[in-house]
Structure 1
């Protein structure tokens, strides 16, 4: 038994907070958390115990748990009055406003399916998702409502507008008018909501073709906050924290939300985890590193979870030296690959804190693995071990498991894996095997402790003269250069080799990088065939989607002719 196995057993033993139990899910035996919430409705009901504690802080606005519950209950009644029944879809299209949480939990508490839509989408993309999901109600902020204009009559959607910035579109209703008076003693409408009922429909980022709607259950999303807590406890134990202290109730948390609520990291890992803990959630309307540092100081933020780029920008910002960040206990990243060099930068910039990264997909309801505290310090090039209720394996092109250390596609199985794609049985069959394994599309290897090391997206791997070059490995080497702020490795067509390695590099402000000097620097760290044959310098920030994921295809199209 390894040290990690012993730590896992101590956390998951009978009677412990992370005790597991096997259940039959669709004819498959799956481990689940015994103490996970039964549903989002159950979480909403449980939230009443937090009373007058702040739940949401947005600019100068405050919403306590009691006020949030009353608003959720009231809007759930309004949805029911509009004919929304269990299983019906309720779409949300807005930036990070308090009303997002109210509408989300109201729909889920009623047994409806919440459909968060990307607030960065065009009108055409929003309309596609509304049609695809068959939503009967859309709750949109003023900007999204203006973008959509009058809802096409054939969609048959009730539009409720939050914070309108001008006249309402024809047929739309104002949020405040719909909500009306909110009674402090408001109660949820009667509804039977079970763990395996449908809860969410999150659309994948759609970097290739039309986005697909990943259908999640209440069990899927309610697994995640327990998984996040488990990963933090396991990392603390690995770092030498005694078991009793690792499991002890933590001081009340205040989380800063720098990522959109309409993606899994923002919703599952930050919103739902904070809600379950009784903590406060500080919303950011849009990302700005100076504003993030100001909010950490002002609100005494204890937890920060963002994408790696945001942590890089915070560490590099001049305000870091002047802001009081003493309240910050943990800083973590997810949603995009993180270079091992990021941990070095964070430890130097913000010492004596707990750092973490993790790995997950929309299709795994956020967390598959957590690399926290002692685990992260020990293996910063990993995304951590899978959480205890999740199984992973690495397979070759024909689905056979490869030996430890071998590179192949990462497959994932557990109570966090979604049931499939909305109205896409073909895509579901392609992504999920009959016995429940999700094909992640990521290339990875497992070490002798079971830690996951993601080396590339299968489609991003560069094949140079028959040699596989994993972009994550080359990018990690580039990030070791102190003058590099951001980097992306892409394949460049070559007549003889098939592809060559190219790198787009953003220097740190004020740094003049010489491409040839950078190539010599890399030649001392990686094999010659992996050293980029082409280096493009770019001063502007790289294009990313709303989840912070690099739009590598768009970047490649900028620099590679044809």
Structure 2
């Protein structure tokens, strides 16, 4: 075996645990590790017959499915670079990802074929993913006559070679492709295995899309290394998720605070057996107290964390036994990762001082594809990744997020960090989502507004929010106005698109 990266994983799993259930999908269908390895072999053979070689990009457009993972492992087996495409993108956005990555092949779920009509993708091959499980790969659209799927080449791949390009969520401007090496993804998976104590008997419910780095890097890949089982869901539905947790004895679940709130607010929550769940991981923002309470009443607790696409994705972790002690924080660095805080001059700042969060470790990405200048700007002179996030470390080395540099509000010369305000508003009864944004103001330059979603039948106005925050925040931090919306715009990873909200509400200020 010459492939020392992800390309060797399927062959190793097939050797070690061929009959172990790797995947559960589509209402009870199962696939063993041997079966998943065979699918990956067929993808590798189909790509190889088309002349795809080491370093070529293979894009994939589709929801969570065996075909997604087969495309990933089939591509990396021959040294190609996997480019997952966010299925929630509009057609022009899909075109950007495919063309920006210079993909030679696009494999897609049949249901997304229509979205590709009329696009100028610049690819050589457009393949239907539904044909992956057919032994005769020649039935794939545009395929030449193919030989046996088991005869794919074993291409050399070192850990420092690119394995995937994942496009950042693009809260401003067009998304950039973060190049993740085989080493980045392997070390990120090891971080997860160590700090979440993942074992081979774990059953992970994948309700978040695999094209998102958190679901892939901290969920699917660690489970596959350990030989656990993935339950694949194409979309998140609280009722279905609760049923799957009970039926399959799900032990691991990842999501954002909204995910967990929708589960515990569902009528089936009280009657569902959730005793198997031992690893609940949450990112995106702090878990509100009322959600923590609902889970603790059932004997469940969270691991909360912080990361991004560029760190593949985990940077820090707050262990369940510190959830209350360090509530509002995102914990300490993962086992093979380091974090520091830098001031505007680039030097480390004292404990308790807000500055830019910088990350170092073998899980930190190689750079942005085709963007050398932006890659250079993303790293310090001594090689630390500049996250663009603001935060501080307490006396115990625990990280607290203050905000994104670009989301910081400057009102009357004072810096306002929206996350601080959002964490407090989240504890107001009836609030299901909150985003604090800066709105232009003739007197102060900017003033904070709170944009909320609330439970049905609940009414919350500006006066209620101000009363809730009175005495807890400086007066200049209290939102000047509160507006209620039906839904907060979010990226595929669950992050709120504040730029969209600023565009929507700024003209009315």
Query: With structure 2 as the length reference, what TM-score do the two structures score?
Result: 0.92
Equivalent runs, 1:201-280 vs 2, <5 Å: 201-233=165-197, 250=199, 252-280=201-229
Is the CA contact (8 Å cut-off) linking 1:489 and 1:504 kept in structure 2? yes
CA distance in 2, matches of 1:179, 1:377: 61
Q: Do the aligned partners of residues 56 and 178 (structure 1) sit closer, same or farther apart at CA in structure 2, a change above 3 Å counting? A: farther
Equivalent runs, 1:442-481 vs 2, <5 Å: 442-481=389-428
> Mean Cα displacement is larger for which, 82-91 or 249-258?
249-258
CA distance in 2, matches of 1:96, 1:47: 20
Q: Secondary structure at the match of 1:139?
A: strand
Matched, 1:119 2:87: yes
Is the CA contact (8 Å cut-off) linking 2:199 and 2:226 kept in structure 1? no
Is the CA contact (8 Å cut-off) linking 2:19 and 2:32 kept in structure 1? yes
Which of 67, 79, 82 is equivalent to 2:47? Answer: 79
Q: Secondary structure at the match of 2:324?
A: helix
Q: Do the aligned partners of residues 342 and 442 (structure 1) sit closer, same or farther apart at CA in structure 2, a change above 3 Å counting? A: farther
Is the CA contact (8 Å cut-off) linking 1:90 and 1:113 kept in structure 2? yes
- Alpha-carbon shift at residue 344 of structure 1 (Å): 2.5
2:230 aligned partner: 281
2:374 aligned partner: 427
Q: Do the aligned partners of residues 45 and 342 (structure 1) sit closer, same or farther apart at CA in structure 2, a change above 3 Å counting? A: farther
- Alpha-carbon shift at residue 129 of structure 1 (Å): 1.8
1:18 aligned partner: none
Which of 306, 311, 323 is equivalent to 1:376? Answer: 323
Q: Do the aligned partners of residues 257 and 366 (structure 1) sit closer, same or farther apart at CA in structure 2, a change above 3 Å counting? A: same
Which of 545, 548, 552 is equivalent to 2:491? Answer: 545
- Alpha-carbon shift at residue 415 of structure 1 (Å): 0.6
CA distance in 1, matches of 2:139, 2:179: 28
Q: Do the aligned partners of residues 163 and 43 (structure 1) sit closer, same or farther apart at CA in structure 2, a change above 3 Å counting? A: closer
- Alpha-carbon shift at residue 99 of structure 1 (Å): 0.2
Q: Do the aligned partners of residues 343 and 38 (structure 1) sit closer, same or farther apart at CA in structure 2, a change above 3 Å counting? A: farther
- Alpha-carbon shift at residue 194 of structure 1 (Å): 1.2
Is the CA contact (8 Å cut-off) linking 2:48 and 2:152 kept in structure 1? no
Is the CA contact (8 Å cut-off) linking 1:73 and 1:189 kept in structure 2? no
Is the CA contact (8 Å cut-off) linking 1:215 and 1:419 kept in structure 2? yes
- Alpha-carbon shift at residue 201 of structure 1 (Å): 0.6
1:8 aligned partner: none
Q: Do the aligned partners of residues 355 and 180 (structure 1) sit closer, same or farther apart at CA in structure 2, a change above 3 Å counting? A: farther
**Which ranges in structure 2 are unaligned for 5 or more consecutive residues?**
132-137
- Alpha-carbon shift at residue 181 of structure 1 (Å): 10
Is the CA contact (8 Å cut-off) linking 1:257 and 1:306 kept in structure 2? no
Aligned residues: 498
CA distance in 2, matches of 1:175, 1:182: 17
Is the CA contact (8 Å cut-off) linking 1:199 and 1:217 kept in structure 2? yes
Matched, 1:314 2:263: yes
Is the CA contact (8 Å cut-off) linking 2:171 and 2:498 kept in structure 1? no
Q: Do the aligned partners of residues 320 and 180 (structure 1) sit closer, same or farther apart at CA in structure 2, a change above 3 Å counting? A: farther
Q: Secondary structure at the match of 1:545?
A: coil
Query: With structure 1 as the length reference, what TM-score do the two structures score?
Result: 0.84
CA distance in 2, matches of 1:478, 1:43: 45
CA distance in 1, matches of 2:401, 2:64: 30
Matched, 1:40 2:10: no
1:345 aligned partner: 293
- Alpha-carbon shift at residue 395 of structure 1 (Å): 1.0
Q: Secondary structure at the match of 2:59?
A: strand
1:324 aligned partner: 273
Which of 518, 527, 534 is equivalent to 2:474? Answer: 527
Deviations 1:50-76 (A, max 9, x none): 211211111232111110011112221
**Which ranges in structure 1 are unaligned for 5 or more consecutive residues?**
1-36, 165-171, 234-248
